[in-house]
A and B are shown apart, each in its own frame.
Chain A
Amino acid sequence: MSGTYLGMPAFPEAARQALGDDTLRANLRHATHTIRDKRARAVAELDDWAELREAGKQIKDHTLQHLDTYLLQLEEAVTAAGGTVHWAADAAQANRIVTDLVKATGETEVVKVKSMATQEIELNEHLAAEGITAYETDLAELIVQLGDDRPSHILVPAIHRNRSEIRDIFRDQMGIWGRPAPEGLTDEPAELAEAARLHLREKFLRAKVGISGANFMVAETGTLVVVESEGNGRMCLTLPDTLISVVGIEKVVPTWRDLEVFLQTLPRSSTAERMNPYTSMWTGTADGDGPRNFHLVLLDNGRTDTLADEVGRQALRCIRCSACLNVCPVYERAGGHAYGSVYPGPIGAILTPQLRGTTSEVDASLPYASSLCGACYEVCPVAIDIPEVLVHLRERVVDQGGHHLERAAMSAAAWAFDHPAVLAAGQRMASRTRRLHPSRLPGPGRAWSDSRDLPQVPDRPFRDWWQRQQGEKGDAQ
């Protein structure tokens, strides 16, 4: 396993490999089914869930429509509260800004709050190249980092690991990164949590620079919000002298009233909790409390391009709850790594090809990584019609040249279907030759017949039966 996504195989191949890994399959099945059932119960408790979902959708759509206005309002408010706002057009710029800010402090270590945006820009790797070590402090991120692994889930990045694998990683790796795991560590959850606590505590107390993302930014007051379960994020946000937050521009909401909606829908959708244990909010800097320097790096990195696409832009409503991953039968089998980006599952399949484009093999394969069953849309707390966007992105792949054979086949089929006589002739031909049909197909057809028998062709199509029957009726009259 390596830390980056370069040279990832296309989705179907990566998924095939994942399917062959029985431990992975069992870990994912157990984890996703448990969270999915809990979410369903937590959501069912609210009788205004449908309204909350609609409100979340509308708030996000409104904000995205007036994004320029709200971002400027946010910048003004953050600045007035003592923070500094930086604008990054792409990953390279964002990495440069953060690296320079850290270097200016003279520090060579930073602690990190779990953040999708910094993973998206591969900040840790860039910091490392400049001699700065970033320590992940979220428990699951720590497991991923110590295991030299990649995250496979938005909320539970180590969902593909089970307890004994985690014990082995802690035992073998903690000593290399800092305080070693206690002697005789078992795979009891309480012991694993304690080992992580001891290992991380040392880092929190030493760190002078913290790096975070944010779940929301409130434009009216310039307040940033991080929701989490462990309290480790709270430590990183409050203990260091300098706090740098890298946040996607779509994370802004206009007012605290708007925020209220998401603070209800996010925890129930992600961890199935009525309220998440820690909600940290900060507005610029305050004397004698928390970091003395606060920098906000606003990240575009493909988001304004996504915003320009009428159908695709709804992906920017995403609040990263991961409910769509947990209900997805494809994610459950393929695992998060197959999606070749920090955004796995259904949301990844529509977000990655928009943020990165569809030129690489894996990115072009993502819109097809779905049976369009619609379970993701059903649970999404901001009503992103993921199947609609998937099909829309398939069009994009087709339009860029896509698959020549497929295009020819589709055109031929469309022509035949527009000429019923041709269709009927084809049906009769298939019926007449049905005894000759093999049960397994050669070439591309093997994709079907390797695991499934072909349907048996009947002795005549329905339309022939119908015509004969109508004829008999006519004769009888």
Chain B
Amino acid sequence: MRVALFLTCVNDTLYPGTGRAVVRLLNRLGVDVDFPLGQTCCGQPHYNTGYRRQAEPLAHRFADVFADYDAIVTPSGSCGAMVRELYPRMGRRAEAEGRGSSLAEAIAKVVPVTYELTEFLVDILGVTDVGAYFPHKVTYHPTCHGLRSLGLGERPRQLLAAVKGLELMELPGAEECCGFGGTFAMKNADVSASMGRDKVAAAVSTGAAALCTADNSCLMHIGGIIRRQDEDIRPLHIAEILASTEDEPLT
């Protein structure tokens, strides 16, 4: 199986540690993962802000870059949802607008083999215990696109529950949005920040040492509030927890 890492532009630029963690984790599970250098951004920021046509070349690029892989794995629920849910919609819209079926055809091969990381682990590799070690209290926030668009369900929690030493704390109001929402965070900054502060308060109330999600975009917003308020909790991507072992623990 030829497996590609679709890291996303945000992770590539700002959270390379998450990328390294995914590579280490997958290698440990016997998966040889490639990182095609032609990858950039899936176009989600454009699409969601109302620039659908500017997102189309990026969808074409995605389809080209990842054409030869059997599985495309991404540590981002929202970018995964962009590919799986919104690329087909973009293809249909282009056709409806009389602009041909080239987009729909280009993405047809990559869309069904794109997986969010926890999906890939649980559904494709069939593992929930990845042999990780993280002796801390952790609370998990299911990000909206992972939860509602991709339907990740219990997968992330199953993976976390199997981590040696990890104590999973229930997050009150877990399914409520953290308030990031891409450009929403800027265009409606006050409401966005209010939602984020409530999310942080809920996480702090659990007594957890780490607030874990499967999407660094949301963590960028949540983490920004945690640092601004100087809270005693650490924002952490699930890949970094799952990559941590007794031999090579996350510090």
Among residues of B, the one whose C-beta sits closest to the C-beta of A378 is B148
B190 close to A19 (CB less than 8 A): yes
| Given A372-B184, A414-B51, A377 contacting B179 (CB threshold 8 A) | no
B72 CB-CB contact with A under 8 Å: no
Nearest chain A CB to B139's CB is how many angstroms away? Answer: 19
**B191 contacts A462, CB within 8 Å?**
no
Q: Which of B32-40, B201-209, B240-248 faces chain A?
A: B32-40
Smallest CB-CB separation from B224: which chain A residue?
A452
Tell me the complex Cα distance, A217–B229, Å. Answer: 54
Which residues of chain A are near B180, meaning CB under 8 Å? 371
- B175-212 vs A, CB cutoff 8 Å, 1 = contact: the mask equals 11101111111111111111111000000000000000
- Counting from the closest, the 3 A-B pairs by CB-CB distance are A371-B181, A452-B224, A394-B50
* Residues of B contacting A15 in the complex (Cβ-Cβ under 8 angstroms): 188, 190-191
Q: Which of A285-311 contact B (CB under 8 A)?
A: 310-311
Q: How far is the CA of A16 from the CA of B39 in the complex (A)?
A: 39
Inter-chain contact B224/A453, CB cutoff 8 Å = yes
Residues in B neighbouring A200, C-beta threshold 8 A: none
At the interface, yes or no: B15 with Cβ under 8 Å from chain A?
yes
- Report how far A426 CA is from B186 CA in the complex, Å: 22
Whether the pair A371, B57 counts as a contact (CB closer than 8 A) is no
A465→B149 contact, CB < 8 A:
no
Chain A positions within 8 Å of B227 at CB level: 452-453
Report chain B residues within 8 Å CB of A377. Answer: 148
Looking at chain B's contact residues, the main secondary structure is: helix
Q: Which of B6-14, B109-117, B126-134 contacts A (4 or more CB under 8 A)?
A: B6-14
Task: Please indicate the chain A residues that have their CB under 8 angstroms from the CB of B190 in the complex.
Answer: 12, 15-16, 19, 451
Give bound CA distance, A397 to B191, whole Å: 21
- The distance from the CB of A328 to the nearest CB of chain B, in whole angstroms, is 9
Residues of B within 8 A of A393 (CB): 50
Q: B11-26: contact bitstring with A at CB < 8 Å (1 yes, 0 no)?
A: 1111111011001000
Q: State A15–B194 Cα separation when bound (angstroms).
A: 11
Tell me the complex Cα distance, A80–B109, Å: 58
Q: Complex: how many Å from CA A447 to CA B7?
A: 27
Q: Is the CB of A368 within 8 A of B188?
A: yes
Distance A388 CA – B193 CA, assembled complex (angstroms): 24
Residues of B close to A394: CB separation below 8 A: 48-50
Q: Is B221's CB within 8 Å of the partner chain A?
A: yes
With contacts A19-B191, A373-B177 taken as known, whether A417 is within 8 angstroms of B13 at the C-beta atoms is no
Given A451-B228, A465-B20, CB of A373 within 8 Å of CB of B54: no
B107 at the A interface (CB under 8 A): no
Q: B52 on the interface (CB 8 Å rule)?
A: yes
Q: Could you write out 30 A-B pairs with CB less than 8 Å apart?
A: A11-B188, A12-B188, A19-B194, A329-B179, A368-B184, A370-B181, A370-B184, A371-B177, A371-B192, A373-B148, A373-B176, A374-B149, A378-B148, A413-B46, A414-B51, A417-B9, A420-B39, A420-B40, A447-B186, A448-B185, A452-B227, A455-B224, A461-B12, A462-B7, A462-B12, A462-B35, A463-B37, A465-B16, A465-B20, A466-B23
Looking at the complex, which one of B35, B93, B144, B175 makes contact with A371 (CB distance below 8 Å)?
B144
Residue A239 lies at the interface, judged by CB distance under 8 Å to chain B: no
Q: How far is the CB of B73 from chain A (nearest CB, A)?
A: 14
Chain A residues positioned under 8 Å from B49 (CB to CB): 394, 398, 406, 410
- Judged by a CB distance under 8 angstroms, whether A39 is at the interface is no
Q: Hey, what's the 0/1 contact readout for A437-476 against B, CB within 8 Å counting as 1?
A: 0000000100110111111011011110111000000000
Q: Among B50, B93, B175, B225, which residue has its beta carbon within 8 angstroms of that of A452?
A: B225
A333 interface residue per 8 A CB criterion: yes
Q: How far is the CA of A407 from the CA of B49 in the complex (A)?
A: 10
Q: In the bound complex, how far is the Cα of B186 from the Cα of A360, in angstroms?
A: 21
**Considering the chains assembled together, what is the distance between the CA atoms of A371 and B52 in angstroms?**
17
User: At the interface, yes or no: A402 with Cβ under 8 Å from chain B?
Assistant: yes
Q: Are B37 and A333 in contact (CB under 8 A)?
A: no
Q: Which residues of A contact B16 (CB under 8 A)?
A: 458, 460-462, 465
Contact of A451 among B23, B51, B225 (CB under 8 A): B225
